[in-house]
């Protein structure tokens, strides 16, 4: 496995490991490091990736300076190495939504996490990240995203997942590749929460979508989010009984 690091916005780095054996064309697992007064990591990767991911972080800042450990939801690829990073960074704290903490993280994390209310902001000194609950979007009831207000980067978690090993950052259409990935993995909770969350996030007018699996996106992010919402709205309507639209 090879891990690559790319700066996708000012002071925000994508750490990406491509695993060719997953899916028909391979799959990337991406973490994002915010180089701030209080450095923040979004996603830790699986425990087996800790040596690669921590080495990539160390090329930007010493790992022991890490202050915040965050992720989209509770799955191995999102937070498997959480306690490894807590051990390596004595001042680090996990921050997640209230539900995720109550259900899993209070017990799983080696130090108590910070519980965040929907819309709450963490001040990183020279950056501000805002937490948004996105239950069941794309899956898991404790799902959430983070929005970095200074750069306009939206840390999307598994939303807009793509197959393969594309460029670190692109302005090409990602809605069609995300639709293909959904047809392969069927990973999304197909319910009204998904398009509702996408429409809400589009209102932020993000400048960049930092995506867990696949390329990050620097085009018209609000339109991309709304277009993906339309894909799921159409699928919901196809499944609804005749004469009973889901909206």
Q: Looking at residue 51, which CATH number applies to its domain?
A: 3.60.15.10
Whether 247 is in a domain gets the answer no
Structural domain of 52: 3-239
- Look at the alpha carbons of 29, 57, 210, 194 in this order and tell me if their dihedral is positive or negative: positive
Residue 65 counted as domain residue: yes
Closest CA to 89 of 38, 131, 125: 38
Q: Is residue 244 part of a domain?
A: no
Write down the pTM of the prediction. 0.96
Domains of the chain: total: 1
On whether residue 162 sits in a domain, the answer given is: yes
Angle, CA 87 vertex, CA 50 and CA 45 arms, to 5°: 25
Say if 83 falls within a structural domain: yes
Task: Give me the pLDDT at residue 239, please.
Answer: 86
Pairing of strands 121-123, 128-133: antiparallel
- Residue 31's nearest CA partner among 43, 48, 17 is 43
pLDDT at 244: 60
In a domain? residue 245 = no
Is residue 76 situated within a structural domain?
A: yes
**246 belongs to a structural domain:** no
pLDDT tens digits, the chain, 247 residues: what are they? 789 999 999 999 999 999 999 999 999 999 999 999 999 999 999 999 999 999 999 999 999 999 999 999 999 999 999 999 999 999 999 999 999 999 999 999 999 999 999 999 999 999 999 999 999 999 999 999 999 999 999 999 999 999 999 999 999 999 999 999 999 999 999 999 999 999 999 999 999 999 999 999 999 999 999 999 999 999 999 987 765 655 5
């Amino acid at each position: 496995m090879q891990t690559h690091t790319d700066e996708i916005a000012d002071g925000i780095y994508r750490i990406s490991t491509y695993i060719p054996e997953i899916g028909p064309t391979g799959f990337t697992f991406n973490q994002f490091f915010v180089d701030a007064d209080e450095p923040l990591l979004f996603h830790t990767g699986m425990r087996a990736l800790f040596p690669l991911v921590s080495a990539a972080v160390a090329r930007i800042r010493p790992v022991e300076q890490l202050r915040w450990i965050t992720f989209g939801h509770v799955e191995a690829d999102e937070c498997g190495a959480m306690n490894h990073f807590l051990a390596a960074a004595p001042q680090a704290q996990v921050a997640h939504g209230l539900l995720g903490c109550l259900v899993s993280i209070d017990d799983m994390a080696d130090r108590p996490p910070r519980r965040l209310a929907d819309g709450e902001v963490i001040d990183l000194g020279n950056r501000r990240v805002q937490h948004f609950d996105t239950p069941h979007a794309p899956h898991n009831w404790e799902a959430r995203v983070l929005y970095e207000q200074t750069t306009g980067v939206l840390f999307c978690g598994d939303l807009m997942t793509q197959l393969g090993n594309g460029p670190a950052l692109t302005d090409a259409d990602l809605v069609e590749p995300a639709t293909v990935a959904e047809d392969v993995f069927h990973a999304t909770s197909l319910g009204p929460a998904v398009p509702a969350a996408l429409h809400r996030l589009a209102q932020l007018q993000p400048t960049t979508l930092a995506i867990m699996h696949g390329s990050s996106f620097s085009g018209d992010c609000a339109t991309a989010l709304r277009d993906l919402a339309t894909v799921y709205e159409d699928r919901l309507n196809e499944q609804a009984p005749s004469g009973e639209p889901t909206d």
